[in-house]
Amino acid sequence: QQQVKQSPQSLIVQKGGIPIINCAYENTAFDYFPWYQQFPGKGPALLIAIRPDVSEKKEGRFTISFNKSAKQFSLHIMDSQPGDSATYFCAAKVRYSSASKIIFGSGTRLSIRP
């Protein structure tokens, strides 16, 4: 199974709240899980990433929680700000013999209200 399932599709949170975006996968061959942030009319930019041998990774206000046995991972944004309003994509990478491929989730449109 090459899919990465992402939820929710959209999310509205008050400033200072903690939005949580969830992703799930089936393929145990995935070996790298990046999150991308995309602002309207722009290309996605790498936000934070984690390997499956780590259960949590923090970078600033962004935290990835990873549950290998459940094949789930999530993004938490602490002390969210209106500037965090964007579309967020989770993704997973699988390596083939001489190549690798990134599979993207369907995206979550996040709005942080002032």
Partner 1 sequence: DGGITQSPKYLFRKEGQNVTLSCEQNLNHDAMYWYRQDPGQGLRLIYYSQIVNDFQKGDIAEGYSVSREKKESFPLTVTSAQKNPTAFYLCASSLGAGQGTDNEQFFGPGTRLTVL
Q: Does 23 bind partner 1 (CB under 8 A)?
A: no
Q: Quote the tokens at residue 13.
A: 């949170």
- DSSP bridge pairs for 91: 104
Decide: helix, strand or coil at residue 91: strand
Contacts of 41 (CB under 8 A, 6+ apart): none
CB closer to partner 1, 19 vs 44: 44
How far is Cα 43 from Cα 50, in angstroms, rounded to an integer?
A: 21
Options 12, 18, 29, 45; binder of partner 1; rule CB under 8 A: 45
**Residues of span 61-90 touching partner 1 by CB under 8 A:** 89
Q: Does 46 bind partner 1 (CB under 8 A)?
A: yes
Binding residues for partner 1, rule: CB under 8 A, are 4, 6, 9, 32, 34, 36, 41-46, 49, 89, 93, 95-102, 104-107
